[in-house]
Amino acid sequence: HFENMALKVFSGTSHPLLARAVAEHLETHVAKADIGKFANHETSVSIGESVRGADVFVLQSGCGNVNDMCMETFILIAACRTASAQRVVAVLPYFPYSKQSKQKRRGTIPAKLVATMLKVSGVTQVITVDLHHMQMQGFFDVPVDNVRASPLFIHYIREQIPDFQRAVIVAKNAGASKRAALIAKRLRVEFALIFGEQTKFAETLAEERQGQVELRAVSSEVVGEDPELAAGLDEDSYGTSVIGNVEDRICILVDDLIDSAHPFVLAADLLRRNKARAIYVMATHGLLSGTAPEDFQRSSIDQVIVTNTIPQDEHQTRCSKLRVIDCSVVISETVRRVHNNESVANLYCEGE
């Protein structure tokens, strides 16, 4: 009877602020765990309180030193199972290795490997936010609750973006079109799609995978000169034309994650050439690797909006255009419903 079990929230070292916020919404505290490293850099985990018969939720996001974060998560889950926890749920706001969720030539699918290792560690369920590809749910042998952040963005647009009724939701490539179209439909506004170069690249990539031609990168600015690197970065390619009217309109570029700023800056420049009035960028996961915050600061983009599935404090000091939406309420409500064996699907109906 899970509803009678004690609820315990453990945190890895990747995002303690989010774990604390989730625990506060659940009217509990972050359970004690000593996480550190030995002199030889091996990860050490020791649980500081009893979890026997408890419903344990381990929160860790796939950011920072991702490999260390993964090992922390695996060891913490295994330690809870060894200590006789009744159920161990991995709460992974940003799923590690999400960008490597497709088969490469002479490669593997690291995201599936992470899913397999979670199962081996003893996890009984996974909660995550906006998986990079919906098909990733098939990687798991345990139940997965893929929480959607779109209600948070819809609420932000309605409350924070003036004259949003005249906005256009823009997908920077075909991969982002489904997500963008959903938000446009909910807001009852128009939808636009950037297309061009990435289509040519996708066709070339498909032919290469079938062994018909050798891979050639369409744009060295995006994919570089390394063909193997290019094969993994097709989603970061950019277009040269816009389907839809953006003239004198507020354009909102929507995607699930921001790693490099380059594709978004190029998309924004294209929209500016098409006489867009203002440009916003929205994404669930703000990885913002390398010089991305500075690149956004120098760009023609007016505002960049992300959630706090990944810590953003340091990014905000480097980019004044960055705004952060708190997702702890959605995560904590999902945890509460999983703990009480309630439907998570209803959460979206109420949120939207």
How far apart are the C-alpha atoms of 90 and 248, rounded to whole Å? 45
Which pLDDT value is given to residue 45? 95
Radius of gyration of the CA atoms of the chain, in A: 21
Q: Are 156 and 311 in contact (CB under 8 A)?
A: no
Diameter over CA atoms, the chain? 62
* Per-residue CA distances from 257 to 3, 127, 261, 263, 287 (Å): 35, 17, 10, 12, 7
| pLDDT at residue 345 in the model | 83
Query: In this predicted structure, what is the pLDDT of residue 173?
Result: 86
Q: What's the confidence (pLDDT) of residue 298?
A: 97
pLDDT score, position 236: 52
Q: Which residues of the chain fall below pLDDT 70?
A: 1-4, 197-239, 348-352
Against a cut of 0.95, is the pTM above it? Answer: no
Strands lying side by side in the sheet with 87-92: 7-11, 55-59, 87-92, 125-129, 144-147
Read off the tokens for 220: 């060295």
pLDDT value at residue 169 = 97
* Residue closest to 256 by CA, chosen among 93, 102, 74: 93
Q: How many CA atoms lie within 13 A of 202 on its CB side?
A: 13
Mean of all residue pLDDT scores within the chain? 87
Strands 322-325 and 303-307: parallel
